[in-house]
Structure 1
Amino acid sequence: MARALTVSTVNVNGIRAAVKARSADNLGLLPWLTETAADVVCLQETRADDEQLAGALAPALADGWHLASAVPHIKGRNGVAVLSRTPFDGVRIGCGAEEFADHGRYLEVDTAGLTVGSVYFPTGEAETDRQLEKERFMAAVVDRMAELLCSGREAVLCGDWNIAHTENDIKNWRGNTKKAGFLPQERQWLTDLLSTGWVDVVRQAHPGAAGPYAWWSWRGKAFDNDAGWRIDYHLATPALAARVSSVRTERPAAYALRWSDHCPVTVEYG
Structure 2
Amino acid sequence: MKIISYNVNGIRSATTKNFIGWLQETNADMVCLQEVKALPSQIPEILGLVEQLGYHHYWFPAEKKGYSGVAILTKIKPNHVEYGCGEEWIDKEGRILRADFDGFSLMSLYMPSGSSGDERQVKKYEFMRFFDTYIDELRKEHPHMIISGDYNICHTAIDIHNPKSNANSSGFLPEEREWMELFLTNGFIDTFRHFNKDPHHYTWWSFRAGSRGKNLGWRIDYHLATQPMLEKLKNVTILADAIHSDHCPVLLELNP
TM-score range, shorter chain: over 0.9
Evaluate the alpha carbon distance shift between residue 211 and residue 159 of structure 1 in structure 2; reply closer, same or farther with a 3 A threshold.
Answer: farther
Alignment of 1:138-153 (within 5 A): 138-153=128-143
Give the drift of 1:126. Answer: 8.2
Q: Which amino acid letter does the alignment assign opposite residue 213 of structure 1? A: Y
Matched, 1:12 2:8: yes
Partner of 1:268: 253
Matched, 1:70 2:66: no
Q: What is the CA–CA distance in structure 1 between the aligned matches of 2:44 and 2:9, rounded to whole Å?
A: 16
Give the drift of 1:197. Answer: 0.6
Once the two structures are superposed, residues 35-66 of structure 1 have per-residue CA deviations (whole angstroms, 9 ceiling, x without a partner) of 11421100000000121244323212122200
Give the drift of 1:112. Answer: 4.6
Decide which of 154, 159, 165 is 1:169's aligned counterpart: 159
Residues 109 and 150 of structure 2 are in contact (CA less than 8 Å); yes or no, is this contact kept in structure 1?
yes
Partner of 1:247: 236
Q: What is the CA–CA distance in structure 2 between the aligned matches of 1:216 and 1:56, rounded to whole Å?
A: 26
Q: What is the CA–CA distance in structure 2 between the aligned matches of 1:156 and 1:92, rounded to whole Å?
A: 14
Partner of 2:106: 116
Residues 2 and 254 of structure 2 are in contact (CA less than 8 Å); yes or no, is this contact kept in structure 1?
yes
Unaligned 5+ segments in structure 2 are none
Residues 115 and 121 of structure 2 are in contact (CA less than 8 Å); yes or no, is this contact kept in structure 1?
yes
Evaluate the alpha carbon distance shift between residue 172 and residue 54 of structure 1 in structure 2; reply closer, same or farther with a 3 A threshold.
Answer: farther
Partner of 2:42: 52
Residues 240 and 269 of structure 1 are in contact (CA less than 8 Å); yes or no, is this contact kept in structure 2?
no
Decide which of 235, 240, 244 is 1:259's aligned counterpart: 244
Partner of 1:25: none
> What TM-score do you get using the length of structure 1 for normalisation?
0.90
Q: What is the CA–CA distance in structure 2 between the aligned matches of 1:33 and 1:229, rounded to whole Å?
A: 24
Q: Work out the number of aligned pairs and report it.
A: 255
Q: What is the CA–CA distance in structure 1 between the aligned matches of 2:254 and 2:222, rounded to whole Å?
A: 15
Partner of 2:33: 43
Q: What is the CA–CA distance in structure 2 between the aligned matches of 1:54 and 1:84, rounded to whole Å?
A: 17
Evaluate the alpha carbon distance shift between residue 152 and residue 112 of structure 1 in structure 2; reply closer, same or farther with a 3 A threshold.
Answer: closer
Q: What is the CA–CA distance in structure 2 between the aligned matches of 1:48 and 1:55, rounded to whole Å?
A: 13
Decide which of 130, 133, 136 is 2:120's aligned counterpart: 130
Decide which of 90, 93, 99 is 1:103's aligned counterpart: 93
Q: What is the CA–CA distance in structure 2 between the aligned matches of 1:212 and 1:53, rounded to whole Å?
A: 33
Once the two structures are superposed, residues 82-109 of structure 1 have per-residue CA deviations (whole angstroms, 9 ceiling, x without a partner) of 0000112111122232321221111111
SS of equivalent to 1:176: coil
Give the drift of 1:242. Answer: 2.9
> What TM-score do you get using the length of structure 2 for normalisation?
0.94
Q: What is the CA–CA distance in structure 1 between the aligned matches of 2:6 and 2:74, rounded to whole Å?
A: 14
Alignment identity in percent?
37
Evaluate the alpha carbon distance shift between residue 9 and residue 54 of structure 1 in structure 2; reply closer, same or farther with a 3 A threshold.
Answer: farther
Give the drift of 1:150. Answer: 2.3
Q: What is the CA–CA distance in structure 1 between the aligned matches of 2:206 and 2:75, rounded to whole Å?
A: 31
Q: Which amino acid letter does the alignment assign opposite residue 251 of structure 1? A: A
Give the drift of 1:144. Answer: 2.0
Q: Which amino acid letter does the alignment assign opposite residue 220 of structure 1? A: A
Partner of 1:93: 83
Partner of 1:235: 224
